[in-house]
Structures are given as C-alpha cells and as structure tokens.
Amino acid sequence: MKSFDWDNLRIFLATARAHSAVEASHILGLSQSTVSRRIQKLEVETGTVLFNRSTQGLRLTQAGQKLLEHIEGLEDTLSTMELNVFGDNRALTGEVRLGTTEGYGAYFVAPHMERFCAQHPGITVDILSLPRSINLSKREADIAIAIDRPVITNIVTTRLTDYRMLPYASAAYLDRHPEIKTPDDFKAHRWIDYIDDLIFSPSQFSVQTWLPGVKPSLRSTGVIAQAQAVRSGLGIAVLPCFIASLYDELLPILPDSTDIIRTFWLVSPPERRELARVRALWDYLRVTVEAKKDLMMGGRFD
C-alpha cells in the first residue's frame, strides 16, 4: 500500500455515514463522479469490496464495516491529540462543521457569519444545510442546530432560540382570492405543504395536521421551495417568520389569532464541544441569535 491515498479515507467516511455517493458529494463539496471514483480507487488500494451497491443506496460490506470502525477510532484519537497535545497552539484554526436545517442555514446562519469569519480568519466553517436532521452519532457535524431536543444524554444540548411561524401569502394572491377573516376561511384557499411521508421530524410543521381536510396544491420536502412558491402567488404556506419577513410582498395572515412556536436546539458531542474552535462558533451562534430575538418571533430582518 505504498501508493495509499489517505484522503480517500475522508471520502469513504462521509459515504459510509450518508449511505449515498450523492449525499456524500453534497457534504464534501465534490461531484458525485469524484466520490464514486475515489471509493473505487480505495477498493483497489485495499483489495476488497467496501460497499454493496443497490437502488436503495450503499451499504457497508463486512470489510467496509471494519474499516469504518478503524477510521472512527483514528478520528477520536486525532481529536484527543489535538485537544491535549496542541492545545491553544491550534485553538482557533482548523475546520468546524455546522449542521442545520435547510431554511435556517440559508436564511439566518449564512447571512450572519461575516463577523465570525472576520474575527477568526484561521477557522473554516462548513455549513451543512439539509432538509433533514443531522446525525451526530454518525459524526456528520461538530455542532448541529436541531428542531428536536436530543433524547440521548451523552450530547451537550442547550436551547438556542424559539421561533414563530405564521401563514403567509403574497399580496397578489390575497388580492385575487376571497378575504380571510377567520381560521375557517383558510379551507377555501390553495395551500403549500410538506410531503407527509417525507417529514423527518415530529416538530416539522404540517398544514394537513393543523387544518384537517385541506388538500395542498403543492408539496415540497423543503421550506425554501415553499417560500418561493408563496412568493409566486401560488397559495398560502405556514413559514418561519425569519424567512418570510425578508420579503416585502409576503403578508402574514391572522397573526393575532395564530401562535405557532417551535424551538431550535444547539447540540454537540462533548469531545467536539471542548475544541476551542468549536466552542468559539457555539458561543457566537448563541450571542448572535440572542441579539435577533425580534426577527425570530416575527420582526423585520436588519
């Protein structure tokens, strides 16, 4: 194994955890063809098949599972070495991977990262904004912003912020359709919702649960697509206020009689949370969100 490429282990690790070359490519910022090619190269280098491939995705072979266990052991060793040996010499350098929901990552986290990156030029932040939960047990991220409080006890957890959701429609849509005076009037309108069998969390909002009997005109797995559909005038959707308040053309409907509150939780494995660069981002997120409470509860973006 003189020509063994250690970077392929990083690609193998992401693929094993994602069970998909496509999803691993999104996480790594590489093309799917590159991920597939590097996995094939690793199999040649190790002389064994590491994945069983099917239409359901990639599943580790017995050899692949053994390799994964060794790599995760190396990952733990490197983290401990970095913390105990290098200490403050590398405290505020390196990479931090932050997992977050798709909408929050795109509409709040990314727009508020400029000051952190300016303060810590030695840190590279990877934002994984995905329409699903981040799996910390599979080490997909150093920190995650989750909509469900973890039930396992070996995860560092704190409440990040509450946020409000309201029904929104474009001014153009409301001009063309019957006036909404009470919640009963909602049933006569076109709705945009999540795809019910692809909802990834009990905390994820569902119009069909909130308004039984409503049949959506459009469904999507992600809130970004829903927001754009509302902007186009297609119909009404229940959106987080921190997203909808960005657009002057979107108007809240019955805000005084609708009170939908959800919570974001900040979570991290304890061994990652102790790294100085991870703590720096953790603390920055808490301070930044605290200063934007009005936005999270329905105020305007500034």
Q: Is residue 83 part of a domain?
A: no
Q: Is residue 2 part of a domain?
A: no
pTM score of the predicted model: 0.69
Same domain, 125 and 38: no
Same domain, 44 and 109: no
Same domain, 146 and 256: yes
Q: How many helices (H) and strands (E) does the chain have?
A: 13, 11
Q: Is residue 156 part of a domain?
A: yes
pLDDT value at position 299? 64
Same domain, 141 and 288: yes
Q: Find the helix or strand (DSSP H, E) in which 17 lies.
A: helix 7-18
Same domain, 41 and 143: no
Q: One-letter amino acid identity for 219?
A: R
HSE-up of residue 257 (Cα within 13 Å, Cβ side): 8
pLDDT value at position 77? 67
Average per-residue pLDDT for the chain = 86
Same domain, 278 and 158: yes
| Structure-model confidence comparison of residues 125 and 299, the more confident one | 125
Q: Is residue 187 part of a domain?
A: yes
- Give the pairing type, strands 123-130 and 94-101: parallel
Separation of CA 209 from chain center: 23
Residue range 153-166, pLDDT digits in tens: 778 999 999 999 99
Same domain, 250 and 108: yes
CATH classification of the domain holding 11: 1.10.10.10
First to last CA, the chain: 55
* Structure-block tokens of residue 97: 């991977």
- How many whole angstroms separate alpha carbon 211 and alpha carbon 215? 9
* Beta carbons within 8 Å of 141's beta carbon, 6+ residues apart: 97, 98, 99, 128, 134
pLDDT value at position 16? 87
CB 185 within 8 A of CB 256: no
Question: Which segment of 106-110, 132-136, 248-252 scores lowest on mean pLDDT?
Answer: 132-136
pLDDT value at position 171? 95
* Beta carbons within 8 Å of 282's beta carbon, 6+ residues apart: 143, 266, 268, 273
Q: Is residue 11 part of a domain?
A: yes
Q: In a 3-state reduction of DSSP, which class is residue 10?
A: helix
Burial of 96 (0-12, 13-18, 19+ CB in 10 A): buried
* Residues 129-148 as b or e (16 or more Cβ within 10 Å = b): bbbebbebeebbbbbbbbbb
- How many whole angstroms separate alpha carbon 164 and alpha carbon 259? 7
Q: Is residue 102 part of a domain?
A: yes
| Structure-model confidence comparison of residues 241 and 84, the more confident one | 241
Same domain, 28 and 162: no
CB 106 within 8 A of CB 224: yes
Residue range 181-204, pLDDT digits in tens: 998 899 889 999 998 777 777 778
CATH classification of the domain holding 222: 3.40.190.290
Same domain, 135 and 60: no
Number of domains in the chain: 2
Mean pLDDT calculated for residue range 124-142: 79
Mean pLDDT calculated for residue range 164-189: 93
C-alpha distances out from residue 144 to 23, 57, 140, 168, 273, Å:
17, 24, 9, 28, 11
Same domain, 262 and 146: yes
Same domain, 39 and 128: no
Asked whether residue 216 carries a pLDDT value surpassing 60, the answer given is yes
Question: Which segment of 83-97, 124-138, 177-191, 269-283 scores lowest on mean pLDDT?
Answer: 83-97
Asked whether residue 83 carries a pLDDT value surpassing 60, the answer given is no
Mean pLDDT calculated for residue range 253-257: 91
Q: Is residue 300 part of a domain?
A: yes
C-alpha distances out from residue 278 to 22, 71, 79, 107, 275, Å:
27, 21, 12, 22, 5
**Structural domain that includes position 50:** 7-74
Beta bridge partners of 266: 145, 158
**Residue in 224, 244, 253 with CA at minimum distance from that of residue 299:** 244
- Outline where 55-139 has alpha helix (H): 62-81, 102-104, 114-119
Same domain, 121 and 62: no
Residue 212's CB is within 10 A of a number of other CB atoms, namely 8
Q: Find the helix or strand (DSSP H, E) in which 126 lies.
A: strand 123-130
